[in-house]
Each structure stands twice: as C-alpha cells, then as structure tokens.
Amino acid sequence: MSAAPLPALVLFDFDDVLARYAHEVRVAHLARSCGVSDRLVAEVLFDSGLESEYDGGGIDTATYLARLGEGLGSPVDEAQWIAARVAGSRVDPAVLALVQAVAGQAPIGVLTNNGMLLAEAARTLLAPLFPGLEGRVLCSGALCVRKPDAGIFRQALAHFGVAAGDTLFLDDKPANVAGARAAGLRAECVPDQAALAGALRGHGFAV
C-alpha cells in the first residue's frame, strides 16, 4: 500500500506552537516603554476588553493603538507594540528547525487568534521563514472571526486555495483542533515540541 500524500498545506497556530508566549513579559516591556505600571497596562489592554476587541476584528490598528495610548496616558506606536510583543515571545530553535524542514516539503502558513499587528511581529520572531511566509500569516483580527469558529478555517482555505481535507492544522488548544476537524481539516493538538514533531511525522513529513 502506498503512503498517503503529504498535506498540500500545513497551518500552524502562533502562540504556544511556533512561539512560547509570556504574557507578563510583554506587559512589563510595554509598561517600561510608556513609563507606567504593569497593572495599568494590564487594565487598559486586557481588563477593558480592548485586546479582545482588536483580536476579533472589531477595531482597526489605528483605533486600537489610539485607545491604548489614551488609556496609558502615553502614545503607543506600532514599533513600541511590536517590540513588546517580540519581548514576550520566544521561538525554540528546535521548533523553528521543524517548521523549516516542513517548508521544504509543503507550503506552510500561520493561523492565529491575534490582532493584525501580530503579522508584523512575526517578521522578527520568524525571520528565517521569511520571505516564504509573506502574505501567509493570517490573523483573526483581519478575518474578523476567531478559532474555533468554522468561518476562520473557511477563510483561511479560500486564501490559500487549498481543500480542507488536504490541509493539516496544528494548534495547542483542543477546542481549536476540534473546530478545525469539524470544518474538514486534518488537525492535531501539539502542546509542545515533541508533540509537534510526532504529529508532523505522523502525517508523512521527514523531520
């Protein structure tokens, strides 16, 4: 019996799959940048619902940054935001090596529940994968729908022009994996590097 064909597309989640996210480090970095307390940053970004609204596509980047700056009493530009997001994210070289190996065998993309600025932060965090990832980092804030809603998977598939059954989706959250499977994608839960490697090998990749 011949082996099953490789997926025509591998979609990776970003936070806690491609990069480990340290919420408190990001908050502290932005607080220092703006000369305010960590507590105020957390209140304005998260307790107020601002970050959630941005991640869901309810507001654009300019509005998001303006409201963030107003709340902090200090203007926040894209460069400051990206610097804080990069500071709060750590890419494991072993994970990056896995993704690079996959990229040599099939097209890859990113599908993340984040606002549109995350796509810019990804340029720094995933620099070795660019320009191959140009236009291939899809954020819920741009699509105006979040995982695990089926709509985000439909939009991603349309963007890449790939059928659901030919797409492998990898996420650390079981609910998002279940949503992807319900939308017809192949999907695996990968909470760590070992699970990621195992899932990729299980779908035929030499990693």
Integer Cα distance of 204 and 207 in angstroms: 9
Residue span(s) of the chain under CATH 1.10.150 come to 23-87
CATH topology of domain 9-20+91-202: Rossmann fold (3.40.50)
Residue span(s) of the chain under CATH 3.40.50.1000 come to 9-20+91-202
Tokens of 181: 């499977």
In this prediction, residue 3 carries a pLDDT of: 65
Q: Quick check: 25 and 84 in contact, CB under 8 A?
A: no
What are the residues facing 108 on neighbouring strands? Answer: 10
The 10 Å Cβ neighbour count of residue 138 is 23
Integer Cα distance of 169 and 9 in angstroms: 8
Percent of the chain clearing pLDDT 90 (strictly above)? 98
- List pLDDT tens digits, range 133-162: 999 999 999 999 999 999 999 999 999 999
In this prediction, residue 1 carries a pLDDT of: 39
Tokens of 141: 């804030």
- List pLDDT tens digits, range 175-203: 999 999 999 999 999 999 999 999 999 99
CATH topology of domain 23-87: DNA polymerase; domain 1 (1.10.150)
